[in-house]
Chains A and B, each alone.
Chain A
Amino acid sequence: MAMVQPESVRYRRWAAHAVLIGFLALIIFPLLMIIAISFRTGNYSVGELIPSNPTLDHWKLALGMSIEDANGRIVPPPFPVLLWLWNSVKVAVITAVLIVCLSTTCAYAFARLYFAGRSLLLKAMLIFQMFPAVLALVAYYALFSRISDYFPPIGLNTHPGLIFAYLGGIALHVWTIKGYFETIDKSLEESATLDGASPWQAFRLILLPLSVPILAVVFILAFITAITEYPVASILLQDESKLTLAVGSQYYLNPQEYKWGDFAAAAVLSGFPITIVFLLAQRWLVGGLTAGGVKG
């Protein structure tokens, strides 16, 4: 690896490092600011980056503990932040699992089966996905309010209803997985068929195990999208106890009083599940799974 390089390349390498470090700082700075705000006394958005008088009050409130204010009064936590977090994680995990199931089976059909209108459907799905969901908010509301009339369990103000709405966004994932399936040699499944496997067995025992990395990617993407999603959740969910953290944390910011400190603590909290899921999923993000199977 240690290739001999001319002087100019070394200078360029230093320059590249400088640019990258600057870029990283740019990305990390806002995160550090939010963490700083969450430990700063008072609910202000501006102040010191390293709080001179750090407090855990915002975190205590976020974690559902009462605090004692300057006048010695006990202040109960205003919002059920942990419940919101739990709601978010629940909705996001179920959504991600269902999206992975739906999009893999769908991608399998598009990648391996031949049926009329296949390419038209694929393109149509992609094009519909290009309209932001926000544009359809009214439609979402109208649809789910109508569903509530007939089948309340997946209607307005329910988590299943929200998950149901999120499942609409699989087109990109279908494309991603389809692209990956197409890199896997078809003869593997043909061979499994000759070995006696049904199409379902060939899919589950051969194709799926080889697709784990892309499934992990789709799971992470779907999870992040669901946990950070605001517009649709804010329209479909109404009870305070059912809100997701992304929607609920906005309650700290009402026009009368912007509670930046409490909001910051809740915001940092919402980053944890994403980090955990990413760390867990990372071990599946491995390359070379299909190596050695086919040659030529």
Chain B
Amino acid sequence: MSADVRTEHLVKNYNPGVARDVLRDINLDIKEGAFTVFVGPSGCGKSTLLRAIAGLDDITSGDLYIGGKRMNDVPPVDRGVGMVFQSYALYPHMTVRENLAFGLKIKKADRKTIKERVAQASDMLGLDPFLERKPKALSGGQRQRVAIGRALVQHPAVFLLDEPLSNLDAALRVKTRIELAKMHRSRGSTTIYVTHDQVEAMTLADNIVVLSPLAEGATTNLEQYGSPLALYHKPANRFVAGFIGSPKMNFLKGMLEQIGDSKSRIKLDTGLSIDAAVDSSGARPGDKVEVGIRPEHTVMLDSPRADNKITGTVQVAEHLGSESFVYMDVGGKDFTVKVRPETPADMGSQFDIGVPADACYLFDAEGHAFPRTGQFSPGD
């Protein structure tokens, strides 16, 4: 009970000829049984893409295949998809049991099958004590599980979740996230999950699809499609680099001083020069570039790996116990670094931090990433 999902040059426009495309040229190949997360800021069309796969919104052009079958004109119920809505969309006038059984009843499944499947789902999600209650007598987390259960009883080949955790409080969100991961592992059905929370994306996904709001003249708003770590270490562009990772990557503008196929030298606008382990052989010295440095990819100045030094003024320091974040001002730009716990950083004082060359990302004026030749990992 699983199917692959494929889109070819998918375009969605709610008002063709008048409005701008919401989705443009989306090409995805989601393998059978994979857990794929659509992520992006609000307005990027991630929910629209999910609704297009579910069949709740039609496709303007391009093709959608589920299980190898073209689904463009197939009504939602025949696509073999189950969906959990952001708002849960439970039927308020029905009990939990009736909510779970509704779809099977509509499809005229026999009573035994309905009973079996409802019992199975309710057992799996721990809904047994609540079966005779109406949704208004349930807590947020319980409603959430009913919504998941309602999709599960249909035995969908593709399981669609639209920001399922966004209405839960922080603790419950982490718990449900883990449950979802377990559930996917045990059931193994293709799962597509929409979120704007990149932590959810990183923790749950086999593959992440990063979408951006379509820019003027852009050929697509699919920024990158790959595994979480590929996106983290080898972002295709500045958008993905800035979106994946928490806290966000720091960016410093500059120009190429010295190009090379394994090492490049960049002169920052602040006056400093930085060595970066990137292949800039395709560019020319003098080209405008942007250096990206992740907050967690910095080292103390006394480290042998401190190839570059960044100096700034401390604005705020946050001590979380297990780690500390220092928010600095570097030449008028915000710059965040993660440092050892309880590193002294007084407000307004000067703060120096070391940046290894292999921790640097480099983007050209259009935001495309230069290939990295090294990969920093803090443990080394």
Q: Which residues of A contact B (CB under 8 A)?
A: 185, 187-188, 190-197, 201, 205-206, 209-210, 288-296
Contacts and interface: CB of A to CB of B under 8 A. Distances in A.
A194 B81 contact: yes
B103 A293 contact: no
B92 A194 contact: no
A198 to B, nearest CB: 9
B76 interface: yes
A194 B87 contact: no
A196 B102 CA distance: 9
Contacts of A290: 92
A191 B85 contact: yes
Given A293-B135, A296-B167, A195 B89 contact: no
23 contacts: A185-B87, A187-B85, A187-B87, A190-B85, A191-B83, A191-B85, A193-B77, A195-B77, A195-B102, A195-B103, A196-B77, A196-B107, A201-B106, A205-B102, A290-B92, A292-B135, A293-B89, A293-B91, A293-B92, A294-B85, A295-B143, A295-B167, A296-B87
A294 B88 contact: yes
A187 B90 CA distance: 9
Contact of B137 (A197, A292, A294, A295): A292
Contact of B138 (A193, A194, A210, A292): A292
Nearest to B82: A194
Which of A191, A197, A292 is the most central at the interface, judged by chain B CB atoms within 10 Å of its CB?
A191
Nearest to A184: B92
B140 A295 contact: yes
B224 interface: no
Nearest to B85: A187
Contacts of B77: 193-196
A185 B89 contact: yes
Given A196-B103, A197-B106, A191 B89 contact: yes
Contacts of B83: 191, 194
A291 B135 CA distance: 8
Interface in B168-188: none
Interface in B78-124: 81-83, 85-93, 102-103, 106-107
Given A190-B85, A295-B140, A195 B106 contact: yes
A115 to B, nearest CB: 15
B248 to A, nearest CB: 26
Contacts of B221: none
10 shortest A-B CB distances, which residue pairs?
Answer: A292-B136, A195-B103, A293-B92, A292-B135, A294-B87, A187-B89, A196-B77, A191-B89, A291-B136, A196-B106
A289 B92 contact: yes
Given A190-B85, A194-B55, A196-B77, 19 more contacts: A190-B89, A191-B150, A193-B77, A194-B76, A194-B81, A195-B102, A195-B103, A196-B106, A197-B106, A201-B106, A209-B93, A292-B92, A292-B134, A292-B136, A293-B90, A293-B135, A294-B85, A295-B167, A296-B167
B32 to A, nearest CB: 21
A287 to B, nearest CB: 12
Contact of A193 (B56, B82, B92, B143): B56
A295 to B, nearest CB: 5
B127 interface: no
B61 interface: no
B166 interface: yes
A188 B91 CA distance: 7
Nearest to B134: A292
B138 A188 contact: no
A11 B233 CA distance: 73
A205 B98 CA distance: 12
B130 to A, nearest CB: 12
B349 to A, nearest CB: 44
Contacts of B140: 295
B90 A292 contact: yes
A206 B105 CA distance: 14
Contact of A194 (B54, B86, B88): B54
Contacts of A191: 83, 85, 89, 91, 150
A197 B103 CA distance: 8
Contacts of B56: 190, 193-194
B237 interface: no
A209 B95 CA distance: 13
A290 B89 CA distance: 10
Interface string B125-159: 00000000011111010010000001000100000
A232 B89 CA distance: 46
B358 to A, nearest CB: 43
Contacts of A185: 87, 89
Nearest to B108: A196
A192 B102 contact: yes
Contacts of A192: 91, 102, 106
A89 B297 CA distance: 82
A192 B137 CA distance: 21
Which of B76, B77, B92 is the most central at the interface, judged by chain A CB atoms within 10 Å of its CB?
B92
Contacts of A289: 92-93
A290 B92 CA distance: 5
B102 to A, nearest CB: 5
B149 to A, nearest CB: 12
A108 B154 CA distance: 28
Contacts of B90: 292-294
Which of A188, A209, A293 is the most central at the interface, judged by chain B CB atoms within 10 Å of its CB?
A293
Contacts of B103: 194-196
Contacts of A295: 87-88, 140, 143, 167
Contacts of A209: 93
A187 B102 CA distance: 15
Contact of B143 (A190, A201, A206, A292): A292
Nearest to A185: B87
Nearest to B90: A293
B42 to A, nearest CB: 14
B278 to A, nearest CB: 43
Nearest to A295: B167
A210 B90 CA distance: 12
